Structure 1
Amino acid sequence: DKGKPSKGKSKAKKSSRSSRARLGKEDAGPAAASSSFFYVAAAVGLLAVIGAAAAVLLRLPGHGIDASQATQAYAVAPVKLASSECDELIEASQAEHILHEEKSQTSLGAQEERVSETWWLCSHTTDMPCEKSRYAGLASMLREAVESTNENHWKIAGLDKTGVDLKVLRYGATEGGHFHWHTDAGPNTDPEAAKKPRTRLLTVTLQLSDSQDYEGGDLQVGAVNVTRDQGTVLAYVSAMPHRVHTVTRGTRYALIMHFWYPKPFSARQLAKYRDEEAEPRVRALSEVGKGSASDVANWHLLYGEYLLGVGKAEPALEPYQRAIDAGETGLLAKAYHRRGLALGFLDRMPESAAHFTRSQELEPDDPVMLVNSVTALISTMQLSEAANNTERVMEIDPRPELLSNLADSWRRASDALKTMDGQQNMVFLADQMALRCDAKIREMSDAAQ
C-alpha cells in the first residue's frame, strides 16, 4: 500500500482542486469574456439611488427594526479565501482578455464622490453571466455563504439565487482613491436593466489586498470600519450607508458582489421596503449619532437626501438643518443647497433663494447650485442676481442640459412678467437671457460638430 496517498494528502489535493475551480483555473463554464465584452455602469446620484429604491416583502418585526438592528454595520460570512487565492484574483482582474476596465471619477458638486477603477469579472446583464463563466465556482461559494449569513442576521426574503455579478475595485493612493458616503440600494441601472428590473438588497465585499499593502482605504459601514483581514467576506444590507476612506499609500483591491430581488415591484412592496428597511437605517445613524462629527454630519445629509428622494420635503428640512448646524466645511454648501431644494418644493421661495445664495457663496463655481439659484431668484424677482448667475454658468459649464433649463426658466419668467403692469424692462431682460442661452447651446453644438 505504499503507493497509495495518505488521507491527509488526498484531502489536500481535493482542496487544491476546489480552490482552482472556484478561481476559474479549471473548466467551470465557457471561456472568459473576449475583447468584445462590454459593460457600461451608469453613475447614479444618491438622491436617485434612494428615491428609486425598489422593494421586497421582508420578514421583519411587526413594528419595523429598532435602533440596534438599524445600526448593525455588517456580518462576516462563514468562508474565507486564502491569501494566494486573493492574489490570483487581483492578477486576473487586470488581464485584458478577461475583463473590461471602467474608470470612475464621479463628481458630486465640488467634491469627487468616487475615484476608483472597476473590472467586471462576470455579470447577469451581459453575455458573460457568472453561472456560465470561469468564476462560477467562486460565485456559487460566495452565494451559499451569504445566504447563510442573511438567514442568521437579516432574513431578507426573495433574494435572486442566480443573477449575481462579480467585479473588482481598485483604489490607488496615486489617484487619491476613495468612495464618498452612499448606499447601494438602488435600481439596476445598466443598459440591459429594462430586461431585468431588479434592485440590490445585499452587498458583499471580499477583501483581496493584504492589509500591509496599503494605508487608509478602510471600508466604513455605518459607524464601523470593517476588518481589513485579507480573504474575509463581509456582507451588509445595501441600504446601509457606507464609504471607502481615501487610500494614502499603496493600493487596495476588493471584490464586490450584489444580491438582487428579481421581480418588478408593486407600490406596496416599495413602501414596505422604504419604511421598514431603508429609512430606519439612515434615520438611526442620523439620530443615534455614534460616529465622528464628520460622519454624523454626513448621516444627517444622507437622511435628508432619503426623505427628499421619496417626496417628504417637509421632514427633510430637519436633518438638512442638522447638517448645516454641524458646521462641517466640506458639507455646508451641499447642505444649504439641498435644504434650498426642499424649501422650493414646499413653495417657500424666498427661503429657498436665501439658501441657494449661501451655497453659492460657499461654492461659487458649482454649476448645478448656480442653475437652481437662478430659478429661486427669478421667483423672488431678483432678476439681476439671476442674470449674473446665468452668465456664470455659461462661462464655467455651458452644457446644453443646464442651459436649456436656464432658458426655460427665463421664458417662464417673461410670460409671468407680461401679465404685470410696468415690467417692460424686466420682460426685455428675461427674453434676452433666454435668447443668450439658446445661442450658447447652438454655439456648443456647432463646436462639437
Structure 2
Amino acid sequence: MLSVYAFPEAFSPAECDAIVTLAREEELSDAGLVKNRSDHNLRRADLAWLDERAGGDWIMERIMRLVAEANRTHFDFALTEFGESPQVARYGAEREGHFTWHSDIGEGALASRRKLTMVVQLSDPAEYKGGALELQPDANIRESDRAKGSAVLFPSFVLHRVTPVTSGERFSLSTWVHGPAFR
C-alpha cells in the first residue's frame, strides 16, 4: 500500500506502558477538534499532550528518527517541523470512544500544514474490543495493525477513523509532521 508505511515494532510493549503512565500522570482532557471545537458525535476520547508532561523527550526523539527513515525511503515529502505536541488518546468503552471518518488536514495555521500523520498502538489488543484504526487511502478500507507498539505513518489527507470501543480501553499516540502545502 503505497500511501501507508507500517512500523511493526516502533515501540516495545514496556515503552508503550511507560507512555501511557506518562499520559496518566495528570488528568486527561476531553478531546476536541481543530480550532477548539467539540462534537461528541464525531469524536469521543480523552487526551494528554506529551509536551505538557516532563520526561517524554525520548518519545519525540524516536518518532523523529522513524519519520525521517520512512520519509526518506517511502514518501519524499517536503517536511519542515513537528509543530504540534504528540497526543495520547484514550478511547474508553464507558462512552463508546471513537473518532468518525476524517482527514488530519484542517483549518488553522498548523493543521493546514500537516503532511504526515503517525499513529502508534499503545494498548494490547486483548485489552479492548472495537477501537479499530481504519484507513481509506483509496477505494478500499484497511485496518491498521493492532499489535502493541506497532505504528502506521500516512499522508495527513488520507481518510481514517477509530471505530467505537465496546469493551475496555484503547490508548494510541498520534503526532503530525508539517511542511509547505501540497500542490
Indicate whether the TM-score tops 0.5: yes
Q: CA deviation at 1:102?
A: 2.2
Q: Is the 8 A contact 1:115 1:176 kept in 2?
A: yes
In structure 2, C-alpha distance between the alignment counterparts of 1:258 and 1:181, rounded to whole Å: 17
Please tell me whether residue 139 in structure 1 is matched to residue 57 in structure 2. no
- Give 1:203's aligned residue: 117
Residue 315 (structure 1) aligns with = none
67, 88, 92: which one pairs with 1:168?
A: 88
Q: Which runs of 5+ in 1 are unaligned?
A: 1-67, 123-127, 264-268, 273-449
- Structure holding more strand per residue: 2
Instruction: Give CA-to-partner distance per residue, 1:364-414, whole Å, 9 cap, x none.
Output: xxxxxxxxxxxxxxxxxxxxxxxxxxxxxxxxxxxxxxxxxxxxxxxxxxx
Q: Which has the larger radius of gyration?
A: 1
Amino acid across the alignment from 2:171: Y
Match of 2:17 among 67, 87, 99: 87
Deviation at 1:82, TM superposition (A): 1.6
Which residue number in structure 1 is paired with residue 73 of structure 2? 152
Give, as a single letter, the amino acid of the residue that structure 1 aligns with 2:80.
D
Q: CA 1:221–1:93 in 2, change beyond 3 Å: closer, same or farther? A: same
Q: CA deviation at 1:199?
A: 1.4
Alignment-derived partner of residue 215 in structure 1? 129
Aligned to 1:112: 41
Q: After superposition, what is the alpha-carbon deviation per residue over 1:251-309, rounded to whole angstroms, capped at 9, x for unaligned?
A: 00001111011x6xxxxx56x2xxxxxxxxxxxxxxxxxxxxxxxxxxxxxxxxxxxxx
Whole-Å separation in 2 of the counterparts to 1:162 and 1:182: 20
- Report the AA paired with residue 76 of structure 1: A
C-alpha distance after superposition, 1:97-133 (max 9, x if no partner): xxx63203643xxx801111111111xxxxx5x9xx5
Distance in 1, matches of 2:112 and 2:159, equals: 20
Aligned-residue offset at 1:228: 0.1
Structure richer in helix, relative to its length: 1
Question: Is the 8 Å Cα contact of residues 79 and 145 (structure 1) preserved in structure 2?
Answer: no
Corresponding position: 1:258 with 2:176: yes
The residue that corresponds to 1:52 in the other structure is none
For residue 214 of structure 1, what is the amino acid of its counterpart? Y
Give distance in 2, aligned partners of 1:186 and 1:148: 26
CA distance in 2, matches of 1:112, 1:198: 23
How far apart are the structure 2 equivalents of 1:143 and 1:88? 18
State whether residues 82 and 176 of structure 2, in contact with CA within 8 Å, keep that contact through their aligned partners in structure 1.
no
Report how far residue 86 of structure 1 moved: 0.9
Kindly indicate whether the alpha-carbon contact (under 8 Å) linking 2:145 and 2:151 is maintained by their aligned counterparts in 1.
no
**One-letter amino acid matched to 2:23:** S
CA distance in structure 1 between the aligned counterparts of 2:169 and 2:8, rounded to whole angstroms: 26
**Alpha carbons 2:104, 2:111 under 8 Å: kept:** no
Aligned counterparts of 2:129 and 2:86: Cα–Cα separation in 1: 25
Runs (5+) with no aligned partner, structure 2: 33-37
Q: Which residue of 2 aligns with 1:177?
A: 97
Alpha-carbon offset, residue 235 of structure 1 = 0.5
How many residues matched?
Answer: 174
Aligned-residue Cα RMSD (Å) equals 2.4
Q: In structure 2, what is the Cα distance between the partners aligned to 1:75 and 1:242?
A: 14
- Deviation above 2 Å: which 4+ runs of structure 1? 77-80, 104-107, 160-164
Residue type matched to 2:145 in 1?
T
Between the two proteins, what is the percent identity of the paired residues? 28
Does the 8 Å contact 2:105/2:111 carry over to 1?
Answer: no
Per the TM alignment, residue 149 of structure 1 is displaced from its structure 2 partner at its CA by 0.9
